[in-house]
Chain A
Amino acid sequence: MTFINYASREINCKIVYYGPGLCGKTTNIQWIYEQANPEKKGKLVSLATETDRTLFFDFLPLDMGTVKGFKVRFHLYTVPGQVFYDASRKLILRGCDGIIFVADSQRARMEANIESIANLATNLKENGFDIRSIPYVLQLNKRDMPSAAPVAEMERLLRFRGEPMIEAVASQGTGVIETLKAAARQILMELQRA
């Protein structure tokens, strides 16, 4: 749910990175944080365990500049990927404007990817959203892994609505900004239609 403030001429959008455990959601957001202009970024908040697994969420506010005289601000969130944190995942989807699904390209993780998309669909539905219509981007992460499945195979298994599909190596920053941009485009275009 976008928050448009006419008084401060600001528009805030919430983008959630979703995906199975260890697929690289936090890595995406960390890379954006490290690369962003210091004036544009806020503090990166990570609620993680001692072993750096996301416990509740990571949060990064980003000032993107202005569109039509309105300051555009993205709030990036990641969910905890581990299966047993489902209650937390559901909470984070509350009021989101768009989803970036980070898929792990390693063959051994394909089932986890599929399960995670099914879990996303259920959790979106419980928050009143439809996975078929909400702004949505599919990122194929870890393309540099030797055990990465071919793109065509991943597309067949994971792409279900002609959504933008972007190949990435988040640890090196490849495809990270393109993914965010694809999501931003859909969200802002959605506002146009509203």
Chain B
Amino acid sequence: MAKLDLVMFEEEYKLLQEIIGRLQKDASAKVVFLVDKNGQQIAAAGDVKSIDATSLASLTAGNVAATDGLAKLIGEKEFSLLFHEGEKDNLHISIVGKRGILVVIFDQNSSLALVRLRVKKASKELQEIFDQVEQRAQKESDTGNRFESPFSEITDEDIDRLFGD
């Protein structure tokens, strides 16, 4: 495989969840999502039920990927921040490290300045955890000493069962 799989353990997940939970409160945001650049949701905080999180994750990743393409066309490395202003709700999208995207949805109870300020701080903390995850994966891959995969004993029957056969 070209890149290492993203494997997230309980303790790392808890830390990420904690940071975005805090960000949601500190920024007075409605919802905060952390998604992966490939379009998969990693963590969420706030009024999550009000939004189709899976579609949001995939569309955000598509949006960031397209904007990335635009950046390269004009000779920029990336645009690290996207902001969409709506009538009531606004969307603040920023890149975290190499593989994360932070999405903050907020209304008139907050402001762009506040969101930007809080996102900056949270991004740093998130980045550290992503680095840890990456370092661990790299180390395991270098030493060939990978954790015991739960899928090492997957059978044809398991796959048939997924399709209801």
Contacts and interface: CB of A to CB of B under 8 A. Distances in A.
Interface of A: 1-8, 11-12, 14, 42-43, 45, 47, 56-57, 59, 61, 64-65, 67-70, 72, 75, 77, 87-88, 90-92, 94-96, 127-130, 177, 181, 184-185, 188-192, 194
Contact of B69 (A11, A42, A91, A129): A91
B37 A95 contact: yes
Nearest to B14: A7
Contacts of A192: 149, 151-154
A7 B8 contact: yes
Interface stretch (B22-30, B120-128, B157-165): B157-165
Contacts of B154: 67-68, 188-189, 191-192
B66 A43 contact: no
Given A6-B13, A8-B13, A14-B39, A65 B151 contact: no
Interface of B: 1-10, 12-14, 36-40, 42, 52, 54-55, 58-59, 62, 65-66, 68-69, 146, 149-154, 156, 158-159, 161-163
Contacts of A92: 62, 65
A67 B162 contact: yes
A19 B119 CA distance: 40
A-B residue pairs, 9 tightest by C-beta: A95-B38, A128-B2, A7-B13, A91-B65, A191-B151, A64-B162, A7-B10, A68-B150, A61-B54
Contacts of A45: 55, 58-59
